[in-house]
Structure 1
Amino acid sequence: MGAMFLIKRYYSSVQRIAQIANASKPGDTLQVQGWIKNVRRLKNNIFLDINDGSTSDKFQLVVPRNLDTQQLTLGSVVSAVGRVQLAPNGHYELHADEVKALGKYVDYIMHTADICIPTAEGHVQSGYPFSPKQKHPPEYVREHLHLRSRVDYIAAQMRVRHKAQKAIHDYMDELNFVQINTPILTTNDCEGAGEVFRVQPDSDRLLKQMARPNVPPEQSYFDQKVFLSVSGQLHLEAMSYGLGNTYTFAPAFRAENSKSPLHLAEFYMFEAELVHMEQLDTLAAFIERMLKDITNRLLDSSASDLHFCQHNANASSDMAWLQAPWKILSYDEAMVLVVANSDKLKSAVSPDEGFSKEQELFLVAHCGAPVFVLNWPTQQKPFYMKISRSDPQRVHALDLLMPSVGELCGGSLRECDAELLAAHPQLPKDLAWYVDLRKYGGLPTGGFGMGFERYLQLLTGVKNIRDVIPYPRYPHSCKM
Structure 2
Amino acid sequence: MCVRAPNVPSRGIIRHYCKTTPRKIRVAEALSGTELVGTRVKVQGWVRSVRSQKENLFLHVNDGSTVQPLQVVAGPELNGAPLTFGCAVDVTGSLVKSPSRKQPVELRADHVRVVGQCSPLQFPFKIKERHGLEYIRQFPHLRCRTNVFSALLRIRSEATAAIQSYFRGNGFVQIHTPVITSNDCEGAGELFGVAPPGHVAEEGEERDGHFFSVPAFLTVSGQLHLEVMSGAFPGVYTFGPTFRAENSQSRRHLAEFYMVEAELSFTRSLEDLTTVMEDMFKSATEHVLARCAEDVDLFHKHIAVGHGRNVDAMLTKRFNVISYTEAIDVLNRSSQTFTFKTDWGCDLQTEHEKYLVKHCGDMPLFVTDYPYDLKPFYARDNQDHPQHTAAAVDLLVPGVGELCGGTLREERLDVLRARLAHGGLEDTYGWYLDLRRFGSVPHGGFGMGFERYLQCILGVDNIKDVIPFPRFPHSCLL
Normalising by the residue count of structure 1, what TM-score does the alignment of the two structures yield?
A: 0.89
Alpha-carbon distance, 1:90 to partner: 5.1
* Matching of residues 282-293 of structure 1 within 5 Å: 282-293=272-283
* Matching of residues 41-440 of structure 1 within 5 Å: 41-68=52-79, 71-87=82-98, 88-89=100-101, 91-103=103-115, 121-124=116-119, 127-204=122-199, 207-209=200-202, 212=205, 215-217=207-209, 219=210, 221-315=211-305, 316-318=307-309, 319=311, 320-343=313-336, 345=338, 347-368=340-361, 369-391=363-385, 393-424=388-419, 425-426=422-423, 428=425, 429-440=427-438
Alpha-carbon distance, 1:362 to partner: 1.4
**Corresponding residue for residue 447 of structure 2:** 449
**Corresponding residue for residue 6 of structure 2:** none
- Give distance in 1, aligned partners of 2:104 and 2:91: 15
Helix, strand or coil at the partner of 1:102: strand
Distance 1:67 1:155, change over 3 A: closer
Alpha-carbon distance, 1:325 to partner: 1.2
Q: Which residues of structure 1 form unaligned runs of 5+? A: 104-120
Helix, strand or coil at the partner of 2:89: strand
- Give distance in 1, aligned partners of 2:349 and 2:370: 15
Tell me the amino acid that sits aligned with residue 461 of structure 1. Answer: G
Aligned residues: 453
Alpha-carbon distance, 1:283 to partner: 1.6
- Give distance in 2, aligned partners of 1:39 and 1:194: 54
**Corresponding residue for residue 107 of structure 1:** none
Tell me the amino acid that sits aligned with residue 91 of structure 1. Answer: Q
Per-residue CA distance 1:17-37 (angstroms, 9 max, x = gap): 112233643323221111111
> Is the 8 Å Cα contact of residues 71 and 106 (structure 2) preserved in structure 1?
yes
- Give distance in 2, aligned partners of 1:399 and 1:124: 50
Segment drifting more, 52-61 vs 266-275: 52-61
Alpha-carbon distance, 1:298 to partner: 1.1
Helix, strand or coil at the partner of 2:84: coil
Tell me the amino acid that sits aligned with residue 275 of structure 2. Answer: A
Per-residue CA distance 1:150-178 (angstroms, 9 max, x = gap): 12111111111000000000111011100
- Give distance in 2, aligned partners of 1:455 and 1:340: 30
> Is the 8 Å Cα contact of residues 23 and 40 (structure 2) preserved in structure 1?
no
Tell me the amino acid that sits aligned with residue 384 of structure 2. Answer: S
> Is the 8 Å Cα contact of residues 250 and 270 (structure 1) preserved in structure 2?
yes
Segment drifting more, 134-143 vs 322-331: 134-143
Per-residue CA distance 1:229-249 (angstroms, 9 max, x = gap): 000000011011012210000
Distance 1:42 1:267, change over 3 A: same
Alpha-carbon distance, 1:324 to partner: 0.9
- Give distance in 2, aligned partners of 1:210 and 1:46: 72
- Give distance in 1, aligned partners of 2:335 and 2:262: 35
- Give distance in 2, aligned partners of 1:30 and 1:12: 4
> 2:30 aligned with 1:20, yes or no?
yes
Alpha-carbon distance, 1:92 to partner: 2.6
- Give distance in 1, aligned partners of 2:298 and 2:93: 29
- Give distance in 1, aligned partners of 2:424 and 2:451: 30
Q: Which residues of structure 2 form unaligned runs of 5+? A: 1-8
Tell me the amino acid that sits aligned with residue 271 of structure 1. Answer: E
Alpha-carbon distance, 1:14 to partner: 2.0
- Please point out which of 440, 457, 460 is paired with 2:458: 460
Segment drifting more, 285-294 vs 179-188: 285-294
- Give distance in 1, aligned partners of 2:356 and 2:338: 11
Tell me the amino acid that sits aligned with residue 450 of structure 1. Answer: M
> Is the 8 Å Cα contact of residues 249 and 271 (structure 1) preserved in structure 2?
yes
Segment drifting more, 155-164 vs 32-41: 32-41
- Give distance in 1, aligned partners of 2:380 and 2:143: 45
Per-residue CA distance 1:195-240 (angstroms, 9 max, x = gap): 1011111034xx2435745x223x2x11111110000000011011
Distance 1:44 1:222, change over 3 A: same
Tell me the amino acid that sits aligned with residue 52 of structure 1. Answer: D
> Is the 8 Å Cα contact of residues 383 and 427 (structure 1) preserved in structure 2?
no
Segment drifting more, 275-284 vs 403-412: 275-284
Helix, strand or coil at the partner of 2:168: helix
RMSD over aligned CA atoms reads 2.3
Distance 1:441 1:427, change over 3 A: farther
**Corresponding residue for residue 473 of structure 2:** 475
- Give distance in 2, aligned partners of 1:71 and 1:305: 30
- Give distance in 2, aligned partners of 1:12 and 1:380: 64
Alpha-carbon distance, 1:419 to partner: 1.3
Per-residue CA distance 1:428-449 (angstroms, 9 max, x = gap): 3311111111110000101100
> Is the 8 Å Cα contact of residues 49 and 59 (structure 1) preserved in structure 2?
yes
> Is the 8 Å Cα contact of residues 82 and 94 (structure 1) preserved in structure 2?
no
- Give distance in 1, aligned partners of 2:127 and 2:412: 61
Helix, strand or coil at the partner of 2:153: helix
Distance 1:323 1:125, change over 3 A: closer
Tell me the amino acid that sits aligned with residue 21 of structure 1. Answer: L
- Give distance in 2, aligned partners of 1:361 and 1:138: 23
- Give distance in 2, aligned partners of 1:468 and 1:97: 36
Per-residue CA distance 1:123-170 (angstroms, 9 max, x = gap): 337633222333334333222211111121111111110000000001
Helix, strand or coil at the partner of 1:455: helix
> Is the 8 Å Cα contact of residues 406 and 445 (structure 2) preserved in structure 1?
yes
